[in-house]
Amino acid sequence: MPKPLNLQNQQAGFQLDLTPASHPSTGVAPAVRLRGPRSQAYRDMIAKLDAGTFATDRTAFEQLMAAIARELPELKPEQLPIGFVSRCHLGEPYEVHIVDLVGNIVQHYMRHEMMPSPFDRARELALHDAYCFIEIYTDNSMGCVRTDGTVTRI
Amino acid sequence: MADHLISRADLSRIEAELDRIRANVGDVHMEVARGNAAVLDKIGGFYDEFAEFVATDRRHKELHLAETRVIKIRQDIESQFGYYGEVRRHAVGILQAVDHRLVRSEVLHQATEEMMMKAPRYWLAPALVALGAWVRDDRPLADRALSEALRRDDYKTSLFFALVLRRLQRQQGANVWLMRYMAHQNPRALDREFVLLLDAVASGAFGPGGRKVVADHVGAWLEDAAGFASDQERRWKQTLIAWRPSMPLDSYPLLRKHSATWDRLEASLASAKGYDKVLQHFQGIFDGEIKLSPHLSVEIDKLLDSLVSNFDDEELPLRSQESMLEYIIEANGDVHTATRKFEAGKTAMETTSTFTEMLTNAAMFPDKTHASRGTQRYALALSRDWIVEAHEQIVAEARAAVPLDIDVEIDGWSCQTRNGSEEDTLLAAQRAYYEQILAAALLAVKLPGFAMLCGVVGGLVALLGLGNTSFVSICIGLACIGYTFYERNKLKSRREAVQQDVNGRAQKAAEILRAVLAEVVDLRRELAADDAVAEHVREFLLDISPEQYTRGHGEDARAVIAG
């Protein structure tokens, strides 16, 4: 049988280059973080948002904004959600409610009652059992958050 | 000058003949008009047949041309690269000869030297010389040949020796070549033969050490490519959407006719029907066991055959032309269809691609990328997150587009329904609508003004006649009064006719409404059932992991046990 091929044998005068090639990293784009899973604490907090206006409870509003910033620390303020849409648990005739972070208000809507833009696009999704709430962003995109925390951005 | 008197009888005859001629001209004119229409019809028919004939003839010509050209292209490949085939056959032949010690060293030496002369630029020729020299223990020749092989094609030579040494159970040497190969790869510009590496991992050609080398690099590349995931997600989204079936034209006929929301409903149904196609497609790929040979050498020989046969870039332009001609033959001369298919698979034949593109190509076009079924599964498993994201986006967009409320319009009356359960409320509203129509229609049924006037005037005239004892006046007066009574009697039957008409419309509209609501119930049920399949697709895909599709080989286990 032939001897094993010793590729590092300097006496033979043949050198096999084993230096790895350098390929700089591309870095991770911000969009990836927006799709990352949402924590249980964050989901619980959004689910508990109920009737009332943050205008009357400034502390509650600031706590909410701080919690959102903690959940998405890599994002700039203008990239954070501007509101949420979810199924309303007050029962008939109410169907969905929105949490408008710009207007500092929680508003409930009945069936057939029109919702303001850009929240109106999320109505059908908010009523679907697969999602616990829908995040709304300034660029009119939406983040559909599932009960396991995974997010689909559309 | 005498005046000529023309007989009236002669003129009348002339006039009659003129009339006859006029009538005949009119008939001829009509015949010509009819004939024109018939001729135009025939010409239109001839034109359609001619256009079809031209299209068919063009397809036949394209098919014939493609069949002729593909023979020529294959002859060109054979003449320009035919000798490569001879060299390729020697690669596995030498290894099998070494296995069974059936060939003398001198014969091996002569054969490999001949290949160097026959294939002046081909990397495999000096690689085989190096292999033969190694078998004969001729170190200086092996080193020189190896240098030349690496100079001609570094990556293929490295991968070749990684596989050869693995085949010959030289684990340490194989791992060194593999580490070298992986370390030199640029994940943003991989050569096509890299798919063979995925093949080797999926088929168990590498031992545990080799698999770890590959897994570490692949993991780092995927992490680094996270920012480019959206490109592959977009490709997968286009592909998944393209699998949607078209809806049958006779489904939900009443909703089609009576709902302005039908187009959106139809689009939602079509989207949802696609989920089952996606699930079936992926289940089909992952179904069934892939049988590998119990002998490692057999699996590696297949990989070596593939490496030396399928990935030489010099042949690529001719192979690309051959591929296009094969598509034209497959499409029976339809160049547009062939071009569409060729363009869809073109990226799979690019000389270099990013790692993420390569995974997507191996998963979508295994035949174009020469990926085995096992490699397709492995590539799909590595691409899993992109496929899941693409699928989730499609599903979320489809769910957002499903109309919550459905508009219905029947005979001028409109309503909205969400799920068809509001039958009682809607029927009551519809009844109220027709009651209003009936009331308005009955109000409109009254004695015409003229009849009323006749009655009044008739009465006055009759009275006057009585006063003057004028029989005529009395008759006229009575006639007018009689007309008024006649019109008054007609009122009842007119009212009955109106009532019958409106009640008929109301009854028919109620039947249509019930049927439309039943269709809404069926449609919502169908949508919900199809939508639920989307969750099955998600679960199926999330269950896949790359580790399930990288395997060891039975011989490794036996070696470990024996050791």
pLDDT at position A3 is 40
Both tokens of A29, joined, read: 């784009």
* Chain B residues closer than 8 Å to A5 by CB: 134, 142, 165, 170, 173
Residue B530 phi, psi (nearest 5) = -70, -35
Please determine, for residue B424, whether its predicted confidence score (pLDDT) is greater than 50. Answer: yes
User: In angstroms, what separates the C-alpha of B277 from chain A's closest C-alpha?
Assistant: 21
Above pLDDT 70, what percent of chain B?
91
Residue range B44-59: mean pLDDT, rounded:
85
- Whether residue B135 is predicted with pLDDT greater than 80 in this model: the reply is yes
Least confident of A47-61, A116-130, B48-62, B183-197: A47-61
For residues A108 and A51, is the Cβ–Cβ distance under 8 A? Answer: yes
The answer to whether A137 and A31 are in contact (CB under 8 A) is no
Q: List Cβ neighbours of B451 (8 Å cut-off, separation of 6 or more).
A: B483, B484, B487, B488
Least confident of A72-76, B149-153, B420-424: A72-76
Q: Is A138 helix (H, G, I), strand (E, B) or coil?
A: coil
> A28 vs B228: CB contact, 8 Å cut-off?
no
Give the residue with greater pLDDT, B340 vs B480: B480
Distance from CA of A28 to the nearest CA of B (A): 5
Q: How confident is the model at residue A33 (pLDDT cuts 50, 70, 90)?
A: low
* Mean pLDDT, rounded, for A92-106: 86
Beta-bridge partners for A97 = A86, A108
Q: Do A154 and B227 touch (CB under 8 A)?
A: no
Nearest CB partner across the interface for A152, out of B173, B183, B393 = B393
Model confidence at B554, pLDDT cuts 50, 70, 90, reads low
pLDDT tens-digit series, residues A59-78: 777 888 888 888 888 888 88
From the list B268, B396, B403, B279, the residue with the least C-alpha distance to A130 is B396
CB contact under 8 A, A124 and B139: no
Which residue does chain B place closest to A29, by CA atoms? B227
* Per-residue exposure over B496-522, b if at least 16 CB sit within 10 Å of its own CB, e if not: eebeeebeebbeebbebbeebbebbee
Query: Is residue A95 over pLDDT 50?
Result: yes
In chain A, the residue whose alpha carbon lies closest to the alpha carbon of B397 is A154
Rounded CA gap, B513 and A66, in Å?
53
* Token pair of B225 as six digits: 């490519």
pLDDT (mean) for B131-159:
89
Q: Is the CB of B183 less than 8 angstroms away from the CB of A29?
A: no
pLDDT for residue B527? 95
pTM assigned to the model: 0.71
- A124–B226: do the CB atoms touch at under 8 Å? no
DSSP A5: -
DSSP conformation class of A88: -
Query: What tens digit of pLDDT does each residue of B61-79 get?
Result: 999 999 999 999 998 888 7
- Res. B5: pLDDT tops 80: no
- Quick one: what percent of chain B has pLDDT higher than 90? 31
Question: Using CB atoms within 10 A of its CB, is residue B379 exposed (0-12), middle (13-18) or buried (19+)?
Answer: buried
Q: What is the mean pLDDT of residues B423-442?
A: 95
pLDDT at res. A59? 79
The pLDDT score that the predictor gives to residue B193 is: 80
Residue B91, pLDDT above cutoff 70: yes
Q: Which residues in chain A have Cβ-Cβ distances shorter than 8 Å to B143?
A: 12-14
Q: Which residue of A has its CA nearest to B390?
A: A152
CA-nearest residue to B398 within chain A is A125
- Cβ-contact B336, B344 below 8 angstroms: no
Between B102 and B464, where is the model more confident? B464
Nearest to B176 among A7, A122, A152 (CB): A7
Chain B touched by A23 (CB under 8 Å): yes
Evaluate if residue B525 carries a pLDDT over 80: yes
Q: In which band, very low, low, confident or very high, does the pLDDT at A45 lie, cut at 50, 70 and 90?
A: confident
Interchain contact A114–B (C-beta under 8 A) = no
Does residue A91 belong to the interface with chain B, where contact is any CB pair within 8 Å? no
On whether ipTM exceeds 0.85, the answer is no
Q: What is the pLDDT of residue A1?
A: 38
| pLDDT (tens digit per residue) in B323-351 | 889 989 988 898 888 887 787 666 666 67
Q: Which two tokens stand for residue B127?
A: 């690689």
Residue of chain B minimizing CA distance to A122 = B400
- Give the mean model confidence (pLDDT) for residues B536-558: 77
Output the CA–CA distances (angstroms, integers) from residue B281 to B340, B341, B380, B524, B540, in the order listed: 21, 19, 12, 25, 12
> Which residues from A are below 8 Å from B166, CB to CB?
none
Chain A residues touching B416 at Cβ < 8 A: 112
Q: pLDDT of A13-30, one tens digit each?
A: 556 666 666 665 555 454
Has residue B290 got a pLDDT over 60? yes
Q: Give backbone dihedrals phi and psi of A99, rounded to 5 degrees, phi first.
A: -110, 110
What pLDDT was estimated at residue A10? 36
Residue B448 is predicted with a pLDDT of 80
Judge: A5–B401 Cβ closer than 8 Å, yes or no: no
What is d(CA B74, CA B325) in angstroms, rounded to the nearest whole number? Answer: 11
| Beta-carbon contacts below 8 Å between A and B | 89
pLDDT tens, B198-235? 888 888 778 788 888 888 888 888 888 776 678 888 88
Residue A50: predicted pLDDT? 58
Which residue of A1, A3, A5 to mutate against B (max B Cβ within 10 Å)? Answer: A5
Backbone angles phi, psi at A53, to 5 degrees: -120, 140
Position with higher pLDDT, B146 vs B116: B146
Q: What is the pLDDT of residue B562?
A: 38
Rounded to an integer, the average pLDDT of B506-535 is 96
Q: What pLDDT does residue B1 have?
A: 44
Question: Could you tell me the two tokens for B202?
Answer: 């999926």
Q: What is the pLDDT of residue B521?
A: 97
Average pLDDT of chain B to the nearest whole number: 84
CB contact at 8 A, A104 and A54: yes
**Averaged over B7-12, what is the pLDDT?**
61
**Partners of residue A140 in chain B, C-beta under 8 Å:** none
pLDDT band of B47, cuts 50, 70, 90: confident
pLDDT at B262: 95
- What's the maximum distance between 2 C-alpha atoms anywhere in chain B? 154
